[in-house]
Amino acid sequence: MAPLTRSRAGQPGNVPTALNVEYYRQRASAGLIISEATQISPQGQGYAWTPGIYSIEQIAGWRAVSNAVHEAGGRMFLQLWHVGRVSHQSFQPGGALPVAPSALPVPGKTFIVDEEGKGVWGDVPTPQALTLEGIAAIVEDYRHAARNAIEAGMDGVEIHAGNGYLLDQFINSNSNHRDDAYGGSLKHRACLLLEVVEAVSNEIGASRVGVRLTPMGRFMGMGDETPMQTFGYIARRLNEWQLAYLHLVEPAMVGNVRDEVTDPRWNEMILSMREAWHGVLILAGGYDGKTGQEALASGRADIIAFGRPFIANPDLPARIRLAASLNSPDPATFFGGDAVGYTDYKVLA
């Protein structure tokens, strides 16, 4: 089960609740659940009502979730998240501007809370460029968050380095205009991700760590001048650790909207990444049971992750095995709300 932001963390404090416990327990047959993106610090938050993993209360909330998943026979990794520039002053400590590799305008919106307490989509302000001290502090935040995830009973963590968020912002040349050790050449732009992988692996063991990338992704203004070289280099460097897996997102979706402009080089990208990366490869992005099985049989991937189909089908693996029909998700309930559209989808008799 791929990460799915649902914006239902308990308030105050962005703490997982009994509702979240039930949601993940229902989907434990996934075998491996990768949690919704979970901010590593208050600075890392960019959307309303998303959970964190930096407070004692959040650790306890996630422990209840992991216990339920384990009792139902599943396994679970927590996805570690820093949104970088995709945020809003209302989430930032002291009302500061969001942080990014460079102070560039952001072509997108984020999910904020209006004056009436309702979730609405609001403009993202131009961020402030991170200092070297700020970068070092974020690496430590990742380290602490990984330790907290293990204390919360998780089987491992996934470092979110895609979808236009902080680590992806450093990787892509469109969003990184720095001229120091974290910008310029592709090797410098990959530095922050590799430092985070090293810190997290040292803290909890590399076998408990996965990395998610979105090569050629366009969400939130992403883009790179030489994506084949950039992401091939990253894949080769990640072989230096014996990580649990590398998780790639195919460009079937941009955010939660189907992408109608697929880069013709994408298939070449996947095949080159498959060759460069020597470990377990997970692919996600618009698969169904048939196309997922074909991808496994061809050797394109070792594991297929399903995202939106799991929203409306808690028993998705059984439905795929039986070639049963799928429930259709309600997009109006994707972000924020209560049990409706979250834990009330029907399962097979």
Backbone phi, psi, residue 69, to 5°: -65, -45
Cα 184 from chain centroid (whole Å):
25
What Å distances lie between residue 91 and 45, 141, 246, 336, CA to CA? 6, 17, 30, 16
Indicate if the alpha-carbon torsion angle 79, 84, 85, 88 is positive or negative: positive
Choice among 23, 54, 142, 165 that is catalytic: 165
Indicate if the alpha-carbon torsion angle 208, 48, 248, 137 is positive or negative: negative
Residues whose CB is less than 8 angstroms from the CB of residue 190 and which lie 6 or more positions away in sequence, other chains included: 170, 171, 230, 233, 234, 237
Residues whose CB is less than 8 angstroms from the CB of residue 340 and which lie 6 or more positions away in sequence, other chains included: 333
Indicate if the alpha-carbon torsion angle 46, 79, 160, 303 is positive or negative: negative
CA-nearest of 325, 320, 322, 324 to 306 is 320
SS3 content of the chain, % helix, strand, coil (to 5): 40, 15, 45
Cα 239 from chain centroid (whole Å):
20
342: annotated active-site residue: no
Residue 52 DSSP one-character state: B
| Active site (catalytic) residues | 165
